Amino acid sequence: MTPKCAVIQGDVLEVLRSFEDNTFGAVITDPPYASGGLHAKDRQATTAAKYTKNKTKNPLPNFEGDSKDQLSWMLWCVAWLREAKRVCKKGAPICVFIDFRQLDALKWAMQWADWLVNGIVVWDKTEIVRPQRGRFRSQCEFIIWGSKGAMSLKRKVPVLKGCYRYSTLNRGKLHQTQKPLALMRDIVRIVEPGETILDPFAGSGTTLVAALQEGYSAVGIEVTKEYATIAQKQIDTLSQTSPTNNREVTM
């Protein structure tokens, strides 16, 4: 079957509520971390101020959902994670990106929403990240992964690494917090062949492109109009070229 992809512009909770139970084979996503500061003033700064190095030259649009305090963010995560679980099939994997500040809150939210938390994968962003004298380099982000109930050991998925090393993009970015495509292509491989991957925070569509390139179907939700348009363009461009480029699966 040819992999298919849809981008839906809207709020995560509203869109998830419109889906049937047990529809998706996985959730792979990168939500707004809302970890930009201790005080309301810092958190409410634009996402460009929080996440882009060159504030004047970078024309990328700001994105929504990044100014909640930690408790509100955790409760909101519980709400979308519960809906995401409802729309997933039994045993479906979930992978959620996060930084060190919100690591605990996300782990609690996932458990509160009844996902089984299975572990943490490290994304090593390499030495490209800004060094600060006398400090450890803030070089890693994390992916908390789990499943909707137990995951069968008989799934047609190879052994995957627990740590991935890819630098962040420093030019040609389509989103302020865009993830490297090669990283996302590695992460989606946790999903069984033939399944449909749900990304409730699609941004510029990196997960969706990675899913298609690895031979999966995908559905993305994105509330910020500009980014929903960018994600749709990415998908359209890919479907005009060659969408899938399956790798050999070594079990």
Ligand X SMILES: C[S@@+](CC[C@H](N)C(=O)[O-])C[C@H]1O[C@@H](n2cnc3c(N)ncnc32)[C@H](O)[C@@H]1O
* Nearer Cβ to ligand X (95/151): 95
Can you tell me the distance from the alpha carbon of 150 to that of 90, in angstroms, rounded to the nearest whole number? 8
Q: 54 is written with which tokens? A: 């060159």
* Nearer Cβ to ligand X (89/173): 173
Stretch that binds ligand X, among 57-65, 81-89, 113-121, 123-131 (CB under 6 A): 57-65
CB 234 within 8 A of CB 204: yes
Stretch that binds ligand X, among 112-120, 147-155, 173-181, 243-251 (CB under 6 A): 173-181
Can you tell me the distance from the alpha carbon of 128 to that of 203, in angstroms, rounded to the nearest whole number? 23
Q: Which of 43, 85, 179, 185 binds ligand X (CB under 6 A)?
A: 179
Q: 75 is written with which tokens? A: 């409760």
Q: How far apart are the first and last CA of the chain?
A: 22
What b/e string do you get for 106-139 counting C-beta neighbours within 10 Å, with b at 16 or more?
Answer: bbebbeebebbbbeebebebeeeeeeeeeeeeeb
Q: Which of 67, 102, 178, 213 binds ligand X (CB under 6 A)?
A: 178
Instruction: List the x/- string, 63-102, binding to ligand X by CB under 6 A.
Output: xxx-------------------------------------
* Nearer Cβ to ligand X (145/151): 145
Residues that bind ligand X (CB under 6 A): 11-12, 30-32, 63-65, 175, 177-179, 201, 203-204, 206, 221-224, 227
